[in-house]
Amino acid sequence: MNAVLKPLKPLEAQFEAMTPAWLAAVGRVEQSAYEHPWSQGNFSDSINAGYQAQLLTGGKPPETELLGYFVAMKGADEVHLLNITVAPAHQRQGWARVMLDALAIWSRGQGAQWLWLEVRVSNARAKAVYERYGFRHMGTRRNYYPVTASKREDAIVMSLAL
C-alpha cells in the first residue's frame, strides 16, 4: 500500500475582540483547559469593565476555530495579565507566544512599562513559557489559587519590563 501525504494547509490566525457572542465557546475551552476555570460571568464582567479581552481564532468562516484568548487589565503604568489560555487541541504550537507578543505590543501602546501575572507554583509548562518570554520571578502570593474547597496553592508573581 502506498500512502500519499497531503500537505497541511497553514492555519490562518487572527485576533478579534472577545464579545458576548463568543462566551459559550470561551467557556468550553476554559472548562477543558483548567480544573478551576473562570466562569462565563468572569469573562462577561471583564468585557463589561473594558479590559483588554482578545481571541485568537484560526481559519475562515464558517470553520473559524477558537485557538486561545487572553484578558488583561491596564493600570497606571502597567498591565496585569489575568487569563491567557490556549485551547488544549492547539497547545505546544507556539500560540501562547503569539498572544504574549500581541499583549506586549498592546501594553506598550498603552504606555505600560511593566507586564505582570500570577502562575500556579505547580504549572511548570506555563512558568517555562513565561520565563522563555523574559518574565522574571518577583515574589509569591501565598494560598492564591483554589485546589479544593479547603486547600489552596501558592502563585508565583512574574513581571516583564516593557
Active site residues: 118, 130
Contact between 46 and 54 (Cβ < 8 Å): no
In whole angstroms, what is the distance from residue 154 CA to residue 141 CA? 6
The set of cell numbers assigned to 55 is 481571541
The set of cell numbers assigned to 159 is 513581571
The set of cell numbers assigned to 155 is 502563585
Compute CA 57 distance to the chain's CA centroid, rounded to the nearest angstrom. Answer: 13
